Amino acid sequence: MTSRRRFTEEQKIAILDQAMKKGITAVLREHSLSYSVFARWKQQLIKEEPSNQSYSKTRSELKHLNEENIRLKKIIANLALELNKKEEELKRMNSKR
Domain edges within the chain = 7-48, 49-97
Handedness of CA 48, 50, 51, 56 (dihedral sign): negative
33-71 pLDDT, tens per residue? 999 999 999 988 876 555 566 677 788 889 999 999 999
65-88 pLDDT, tens per residue? 999 999 999 999 999 999 999 999
Q: What is the rounded distance in angstroms from the CA atom of residue 60 to the CA atom of residue 52?
A: 12
Q: Does pTM surpass 0.75?
A: no
